[in-house]
Structure 1
Amino acid sequence: MHPPQFPRIPPLYRSYTAPLHAAAMTDSLTDLVRRAQPATLLRLFLGILLPLIVLGLIGEDVLEKERFAFETPAMLWLHGHAGGALTAFSVFMNYFGGPVVMGVVIVLLPTIFWFTRHRPQALFALLALGGAAGVQAIMKRIFQRPRPELWPRLVAETGASFPSGHSTVAAALAVLVVLLLWHTRLRWPALVLGAGYYALMALSRVVLGVHYPTDVLAGGLTSLVWVLGTYQILRGRLLPRNAGRA
């Protein structure tokens, strides 16, 4: 007969060394922050931490059903001064940035990267655009903010108002293109065109009266955090090997 087997009791020294392991991990993280380049820390602060703080402050007020005093007067002023050309342009942007066209872009762009043997860029585009669209859909269900009812709408929109889906996807596309072209000579044209595209999309949503200004701002902040966070995770695979020397 074999002797009975008793469960093995871990050595007592492990309980004393656990705090040492935690302290060593903390020291490693501290050293990592110290070794990080100032540009990286600035990018993380301006692109992720600060937008998250602003988004959290806005979201807290939306959850508590508080009204932003400036929004209704600003929207009524814009509605009274928006001419026919701006209104027609806003209607065009409504359909151009809608789920049909942007759904094709979300599928087509990663597909093009994939079949042109840019596999990391394909993964980045899919996660950035598809993830941003998914995050804003989840946020709409959480916040359940009603859409503004200030004047008769020219376009039919359903669902919650916060954040703006059109603005979220537009910002995600803009940030995606800027990051992919940042290490080329097209970085500044891409930045100007991307920022202009998001600004026009955000303006069109307010002109049509289907979103509050904080809705479109939250959409831009959501995409900035999501796309930059995804880029930071995949950065080693996306950057060319000679990007540092360039």
Structure 2
Amino acid sequence: MATLLTHARAARPAQLLRLFLGILLPLIIVGVVAEDVLERARFAFETPLLLWIHAHASPALDQLAVGLSFIGGVTIIAPVSALILLLLWLRNRPLALFWAVSVAGAAALNLVLKLIFNRARPELWPRLLTETDASFPSGHSMYSMAFVVALMLMLWRTPFRPLALVLGVLFTLAVGVSRLYLGVHYPTDVLCGWLAGLAWVLGVYSIMHARRSV
């Protein structure tokens, strides 16, 4: 009994930290930005930042950005997610459910948000990629964040945690920055994609963890 109480007290600060920094704070930031996006407000820093990034463009960086965008898009990351789901389903059904709701749920939520906000994409220079859907929030950023956070949570109590943490953060950052470099998103699209993906997965984890499913 004493051991259980000790574990409960130790877990409470971590749960509160996850709730505030991982869910509430990101949702507050997304909400503030989303309100301005709905009102078609402009963020003064976005165009200068995108133009500054574009000023450093080069053929090599063009290829790198297109490659990162391709890897972080549905063509690659969706089949990888489906393969992980299949492996989890064969070995651990609760984890498979967590993975499906986290990753597929984030993708579905992103589609809904794009329809709601319907933000036009930047038109600052001729783009290397053609994108036809809405800009806010960035689907690449939201999906890659959901993918990485869900994976890190599943590997958190394993020896692979440091590797997953480092590679996951680098991958998510690289995908998001590539979208800015290519001029297909505003910075707030990418930021809110990251934050929404983070909050979604941690929210799913908190609910399922409370039910002792994950």
Q: Would you say same fold, with TM above 0.5?
A: yes
Identity of aligned residues (%): 52
Correspondence 1:97-136 to 2 at 5 A: 97-115=72-90, 117-136=91-110
Q: 1:142 aligns with which of 116, 126, 135?
A: 116
Aligned residue type for 1:70: F
TM-score (norm 2): 0.91
Indicate yes or no: 2:48 matched with 1:93. Answer: no
Q: 1:179 aligns with which of 124, 149, 153?
A: 153
Question: Aligned partners of 1:36 and 1:80: how far apart in 2?
Answer: 48
Question: Aligned partners of 1:46 and 1:128: how far apart in 2?
Answer: 18
Which residue number in structure 2 is paired with residue 51 of structure 1? 26
Name the one with the larger helix percent. Answer: 2
The Cα shift of 1:98 comes to 2.0
Indicate how the Cα distance of structure 1 residues 176 and 35 shifts in structure 2: closer, same or farther if over 3 A, else same: closer
Structure 2, unaligned runs of 5 or more: 1-8
Q: Deviations over 1:38-75 (max 9, x none)?
A: 11111110000000100101101101111110110010
Question: Aligned partners of 1:163 and 1:80: how far apart in 2?
Answer: 24
What is the alpha-carbon root mean square deviation over aligned residues? Answer: 1.5
Of structures 1 and 2, the one with the larger relative CO (CA 8 A, separation 6+) is: 2
Which residue number in structure 1 is paired with residue 46 of structure 2? 71
Structure 1, unaligned runs of 5 or more: 1-33, 239-246
Q: 2:178 aligns with which of 204, 216, 229?
A: 204
The Cα shift of 1:137 comes to 0.4
Q: Deviations over 1:157-199 (max 9, x none)?
A: 1110001111111101110111111112322221121111110
Number of positions where the alignment pairs a residue of Structure 1 with one of Structure 2? 204
Q: 2:37 aligns with which of 57, 62, 68?
A: 62
Which residue number in structure 2 is paired with residue 29 of structure 1? none
User: Where has structure 1 moved over 3 Å in runs of 4 or more?
Assistant: none
Question: Aligned partners of 1:181 and 1:82: how far apart in 2?
Answer: 36
Structure 1 or 2, whichever has the larger Rg, is: 1
TM-score (norm 1): 0.80
